Every structure is written in structure tokens, then in C-alpha cells.
Amino acid sequence: MTVESGGATTAALQDHASQAPGTPGTPGEAGGLVQLLTPEGERTDHPGYPLDLPAADIRGLYRDMLLVRRIDTEAISLQRQGELGIWASLLGQEAAQIGSARALAAHDMVFPTYREHGVAWCRGIDPAKLLELYRGVSHGGWAPEEHKFGLYTIVIGSQTLHATGYAMGIQRDGAVGGDGAEAAIVYFGDGATSQGDVNESFVWASVFNAPVVFFCQNNQWAISEPLERQSRIPLYQRARGFGFPGLRVDGNDVLACYAVTKKAMQAAREGQGPTFIEAFTYRMGAHTTTDDPTRYRLASELEMWKLKDPIERVRAYLVRTGQAGPEFFAEVDAEADQLGSRVREACRTMSDPPPLAIFDNVYTEPDAIVAAEREQFAAYLDSFVDGEGEGR
């Protein structure tokens, strides 16, 4: 069974980009945090990021965030019930992911970590594919080009170089500037900024002026290590040293994340090179379902961040401005319930691949060694089969 995802609703948002002139990121850099919606749900303005989204689009962002939070909640309980091996929760990071992903054009390429369930949703990846990975049924298995969404990357930071190389390919294809211009965006964490690969990707992107946006979700923690273990300066300030603009956005503000990403991607597509976006957010859950954050952080910190919940503020704003009423919220809740049960069902009815699938896709053409091992293993499995043996 498959679960349809949110890919289709992207289009509505494409036309309302803020296209303010100027170097991307500069206003953010000067003015500190870019914020367009306060934690209380008050709309604020930022000179570098004028944004005028129609009510339907803001409701769409709310819906996306609520639905991906539901996928997340379901996945956590599925893990508790033994249906998944592990799960990396996106709780608290919905705005950073939905805001940035909805700002992308359909043909922009995305390079995710392992926590980008909200971005995956926006790229039309069936949530069941994510469950497959965390259940241990596949290593991902989707076709990156089809969704313009790379495979989940667990080795910290590797994908930043892939995104940069991909962006260099965009340049060489002449797809920078003009109609149909493309750019790449890469997601990574605060911890990842210490990796050599990530720093190398900054150098590459900078000297080749590659059309790539570095979207760092600073959720304050890398498992048990706080941000101070990775950096003594705000992360976005690192970009300047590499020769491109960096800015910090309120990562719990979906409008601001949308606006800054829109602008940075546009700049990249136009040939202005990379931007570093630091989405200042918080990992509200454990690192993964096997982690116990009480060992290393205070509950009071979480309480403080709960007041900045990314979904609540949009709800407050929609209600206050009369852009959504009780029926809308009830509708989205009902939709989330349906999605939740589809996700559960998809997980529970998911079958394991046959054992001989181990040998598939190692090389383009079957390799002699792999083929021989496959044959031997098939014969070995057959030695157990007497009618009721499992299929291979």
C-alpha cells in the first residue's frame, strides 16, 4: 500500500516569491534574525523579505506542517510498537522544512539528511518510502531525479558536496540565468558544520560560484552535543569567511523560512552563487527513538522552545486575521487522522524484500562474484525449502 504525499500542492505557492533586489542575505546578516511571524502569531515585516502570500497559501503551509507532524507522531509510535527499527523525529523543525521546501521550484534539486521528512513530503515522496527505510526494508529506494529529491544521507555532511557538484553541473548545462534556470539546495545540521566535507563544499561552491543554497537547520543539538561544541560564532557568520552571504532566519517561522529560501534560490538561479541559511530552530524530541535526551539537556529548555512552536503561531495568525475558521482546522485535523491511519496501515502491511534482493543492483551488469554468491545462496536456501519455505 502506498500513501499519497503532499507533492501536488506545491504549485500554488510558486508565484508569490519575494524578489527584493540586493545581495541575498545581507539584510539578515545586518539585522540578525529574519522573522516575519512572531511566536505569538503577529505578522512583522522585514525590509529584505517583503512577502505577500494569499490566505490559501498560508493555510497550505499550516496544513503541510500539521500533516508532517502527524506522520512523525505516527512513526514514533510505530517504532515503539516494534514496527520500525528507529525513527529520527522532525518535531519542532516543521517550519524550517516546509517553509524552505515550498519555496523551491519543481525543477530545483534537493539533497537531504535523514530528518527531512517535511521536505520529502513537499517533493512528493510517499511517506511509506521513509518508513521503509526506518523499518529496514530498503535504503530509500526512490529515484532522485524523478522527485528532484536525493536519497536520505546518514553519513553526516557528505551530501553538501553532492549538492555542490550537482550545482556545478547545472552551470555547465547552461541552466543558470534565464527561463528555466535551476539551483540545488542542501540540508544539514549544526553538527554537520564541523565536518571536512561540509567545509570543502563551502570552498567549492564559493570559488565556482555554484548555484547552491546551504540550508542548515541549527536545532541546537548534535545528539548530546550542544552547538557550542561545534562553533563559537553564529553559524551563518561562517559563510562570509568562505566568500558568500550567510543569514539567520527564525527556523520556527514558516513564512520567514519561505521568504529567505525563495530569495536565495532565486539568487542562485540568476548566477549570484551560494547562500548559507541558518534556520535557528530546536529539536523538540530525542535525537532518534533510541536516544534519551534527559541525560544531557534540561527540560526547561524544551519548555521554552514549546512557546515558539512553529505550528501554533501560524494557527494563531490565521485565527486572528480571520483567514481560517474552525471548519478549516477541523478539516485539516480530519485529514491528519486519515493520513495517520494510512501511514500505520502502510507500515503494518509492508512486506520484506525477498532474500535474494540482497544481490540486486550492486553493479550495472551482474558481476561474476556476486552472481556466483547469489547462486550459491539460492541453492542454500532451497536446501531448507520443502513446500512451506519462504519465497526467495
Partner 1 sequence: MTTLTLSRALNEGLRKALENDPKVLIMGEDVGKLGGVFRVTDGLMKDFGENRVIDTPLAESGIVGTAIGLALRGYRPVCEIQFDGFVYPAVDQIVSQLAKMRYRSLGNVALPVVIRIPCGGGIGAVEHHSESPEVLFTHTAGLRVVACADAADAFTMIQQSVSCDDPVIFFEPKRRYWDKGEVDTAAGVADALPLDRARVALEGADVTLLCYGPLVRTCLESAIAAREDGRSVEVVDLRSLSPLDTEVITASVRKTGRCVVAHEAPVYAGLGAEIAARVTEQCFYCLEAPVLRVGGFHTPYPPSRLEEHYLPDLDRILDAVDRTFGY
Say how many CA atoms lie within 13 Å of 227 toward its Cβ: 17
When the beta carbons of 206 and 288 are compared against partner 1, the nearer one is: 288
> Residue 234: is it exposed, middle or buried by C-beta count within 10 angstroms (0-12/13-18/19+)?
middle
Q: Does 132 bind Mg ion (CB under 5 A)?
A: no
For residue 32, give the DSSP letter: S
Question: Shortest approach of partner 1 to residue 139 CB, angstroms?
Answer: 5
Query: In 3D, which of 108, 103, 127 has the Cα closest to residue 11?
Result: 103
Which residue is closest to ligand TPP by CB?
189
Q: Which of residues 254-273 bind ligand TPP (CB under 6 A)?
A: none
**Interface region with ligand TPP, contact rule CB under 6 A, candidates 45-53, 67-75, 189-197, 376-384:** 189-197
When the beta carbons of 54 and 353 are compared against partner 1, the nearer one is: 353
**Is there a contact between 264 and 109 (Cβ–Cβ < 8 Å)?**
no
When the beta carbons of 17 and 235 are compared against ligand TPP, the nearer one is: 235
373 interacts with, out of Mg ion, ligand TPP, partner 1, none, CB within 5 to 8 A per kind: partner 1
- Cell numbers for 234, please give them: 553564529
36 — phi, psi (to 5°)? -120, -10
Q: Does 91 bind ligand TPP (CB under 6 A)?
A: no
For 390, residues 6+ apart whose C-beta sits below 8 A from its C-beta are 354, 355
Q: Does 133 bind partner 1 (CB under 8 A)?
A: yes
Out of 156, 277, 324, 347, the residue judged to bind ligand TPP by CB under 6 A: 156
The CA–CA distances, whole Å, from 183 to 4, 86, 242, 264 equal: 26, 32, 19, 10
Active site residues: 283, 287, 296
Helices (H), 294-325: 299-306, 310-320
Residues that bind Mg ion (CB under 5 A): 189-190, 219, 222
Residue ranges binding partner 1 (CB under 8 A): 85-86, 114, 132-139, 154-156, 191-192, 194-197, 222-225, 229-230, 290-291, 295-296, 352-353, 355, 357-359, 362, 367, 369-370, 373-374, 377, 380, 383-384
